[in-house]
């Protein structure tokens, strides 16, 4: 398994268990349908739950699936157009339904009706998970559509990319006759019954998720509640920001009291707070009795004038222990040039020599700011073009 796909089981468990009670897994396991649940806030958008029906359909064990992206089930004949359609739906945080050719662990291809739906948090409207239902399409007698679920193909079909396949042998050498014939088949179509099956499966899954999230006080729903768009980060932006390993927060100056709308995992580790204890709060909560008020004034002035600033400020963790925070704050503008966010990058300033980083603290901070600016600007350009 590639190193970037290896996620600690704790991360996967936390993604699911912080939102639903422990009984949710048992109830989902009892559903007969094939489905997966993924978390867009974790880098790589990995699978955090896979139903027994899905494991049986694909031939994988749970340990081989959890923590990995859904792309591992794609292969040489998977429609790029359909994959792009799914990715666009995820980026735009909406439902999508496509007919897709995927591959089992042993390399055999099969047609399925793939339905994906975002899971929204009722208390903020953010997307916390995506549910994907897979309905295998049955053979239709007398039609041009065949069920290739039990066809055979060589192991090379499971290669990670077409480029890798090309290095092994030509595509004609890779594909067995059944698969080459599949290429010539008319696109498979789902029946009305199979479409209803996908909808019913999704409704059953959401019934379980809603019930067991309500018990934790962190209710989820299938439709986004009415909230100001300005306070919500898109899934694609969250994914981009999640790749940044440094401690930083993103605040929204267009909301009352300029609250934190994104906090990196490194920031949570540095301060000792959980994500739900940080989001929606002003950064002032990190201050304490010995925090220099003149430094706070300098920060407020830089925000007011929309200028970057760097300060050394005494902050406090959740356990009340203090630390010197080498803090850089910078405005982040969208494609139109307006300030969309402020990014604050924190580096603990201590007397210890840290040889783990080749770059100076200043350059590390500027690198984070640069990546955040590119992500925000790119997203705003995409959204702007889609509305024009």
| Whole-structure pTM value | 0.56
For 76, which DSSP code? T
80-91 and 235-242 helices, crossing angle to 10°? 90
- pLDDT at residue number 178: 45
Q: What b/e string do you get for 319-343 counting C-beta neighbours within 10 Å, with b at 16 or more?
A: eeeebebbbbbbbbbbbeeeebbbb
Residues 325 and 353 in one domain: yes
Alpha helix positions (H), the chain: 9-17, 23-29, 52-58, 62-65, 80-91, 162-168, 171-174, 177-184, 192-214, 235-242, 265-271, 293-304, 361-387
Q: Which of these three, 191, 221, 251, is where a domain ends? A: 221
- Per the CB < 8 A criterion, the answer to whether 102 and 61 are in contact is no
Burial (CB < 10 A; 0-12, 13-18, 19+), residue 127, is buried
Minimal CA–CA distance to 366: which of 323, 313, 330, 314?
Answer: 330
Instruction: Look at residue 235 and tell me whether its pLDDT is greater than 90.
Output: no
Q: Which of these three, 184, 200, 221, is where a domain ends? A: 221
Residues 72 and 92 in one domain: yes
- Read off the CATH number of the domain in which 102 is found: 3.30.450.20
- pLDDT at residue number 10: 76
Instruction: Look at residue 71 and tell me whether its pLDDT is greater than 80.
Output: yes
Residues 16 and 36 in one domain: yes
Q: Which of these three, 221, 247, 271, is where a domain ends? A: 221
Number of domains in the chain: 2
pLDDT for 190-233, tens place per residue? Answer: 999 999 999 999 999 999 999 999 888 888 888 876 444 445 67
Q: Is residue 100 helix, strand or coil?
A: strand
Higher pLDDT, 2 or 207: 207
User: Rounded distance, CA 83 to CA 102, Å?
Assistant: 11
Instruction: Look at residue 135 and tell me whether its pLDDT is greater than 70.
Output: yes
Average pLDDT over residues 83-105: 91
Helix (H) or strand (E) holding 50: strand 47-50
Average pLDDT over residues 361-370: 90
- Specify the residue for token string 């830089």: 302
Residues 197 and 242 in one domain: no
Q: What b/e string do you get for 27-59 counting C-beta neighbours within 10 Å, with b at 16 or more?
A: bbeebebbbbbbbbbbbbbbbbbbbebbbebbe
Residues 192 and 250 in one domain: no
Residue range(s) defining the domain that contains residue 16: 3-221
pLDDT band at 343 (very low <50, low <70, confident <90, very high): very high
- Per the CB < 8 A criterion, the answer to whether 172 and 90 are in contact is no
Residues 199 and 58 in one domain: yes
Instruction: Look at residue 317 and tell me whether its pLDDT is greater than 50.
Output: yes
Mean pLDDT of the chain: 81
Residues 193 and 258 in one domain: no
Residues 49 and 112 in one domain: yes
Residues 207 and 248 in one domain: no
- pLDDT at residue number 187: 60
Average pLDDT over residues 81-102: 90
Higher pLDDT, 384 or 163: 384
């Amino acid at each position: 398994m590639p190193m970037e796909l290896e996620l600690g089981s704790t991360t996967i468990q936390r993604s699911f268990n912080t939102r639903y009670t422990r009984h949710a897994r048992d109830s989902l396991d009892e559903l007969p349908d094939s489905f997966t649940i993924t978390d867009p806030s974790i880098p790589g958008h990995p699978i955090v739950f896979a139903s027994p029906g899905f494991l049986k359909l694909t031939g994988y064990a749970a340990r081989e699936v959890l923590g990995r992206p859904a792309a591992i089930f794609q292969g040489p004949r998977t429609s790029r157009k359909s994959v792009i359609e799914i990715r666009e739906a995820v980026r735009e945080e909406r439902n999508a339904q496509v007919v897709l050719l995927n591959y089992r662990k042993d390399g055999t291809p099969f047609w399925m009706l793939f339905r994906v739906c975002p899971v929204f948090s009722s208390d903020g409207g953010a997307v916390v998970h995506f549910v994907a239902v897979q309905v295998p399409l049955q053979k239709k007698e007398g039609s041009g559509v065949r069920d290739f679920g039990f066809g055979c193909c060589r192991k090379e079909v499971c290669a990670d990319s077409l480029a890798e396949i090309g290095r092994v042998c030509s595509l004609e050498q890779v594909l067995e006759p059944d698969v080459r014939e599949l290429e010539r088949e008319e696109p498979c179509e789902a029946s009305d019954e199979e479409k209803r099956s996908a909808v019913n499966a999704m409704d059953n899954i959401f019934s379980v998720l809603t019930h067991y999230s309500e018990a934790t006080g962190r209710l989820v729903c299938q439709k986004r509640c009415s909230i100001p768009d300005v306070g919500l980060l898109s899934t694609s932006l969250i994914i981009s920001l999640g790749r940044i390993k440094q401690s930083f927060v993103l605040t929204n100056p267009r909301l009352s009291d300029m609250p934190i709308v994104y906090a990196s995992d490194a920031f949570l580790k540095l301060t000792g707070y959980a994500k739900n204890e940080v989001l929606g709060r002003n950064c002032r909560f990190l201050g304490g009795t010995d925090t220099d008020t003149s430094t706070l004034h300098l920060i407020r002035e830089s925000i007011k004038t929309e200028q970057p600033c760097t300060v050394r400020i005494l902050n406090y963790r959740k356990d009340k222990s203090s630390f010197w925070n080498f803090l850089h704050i910078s405005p982040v503008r969208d494609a139109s040039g307006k300030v969309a966010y402020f990014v604050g990058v924190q580096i603990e300033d201590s007397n210890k020599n840290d040889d783990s980083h080749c770059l100076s603290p200043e350059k590390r901070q500027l690198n984070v700011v640069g990546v955040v600016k590119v992500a925000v600007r790119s997203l705003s350009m995409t959204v702007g073009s889609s509305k024009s």
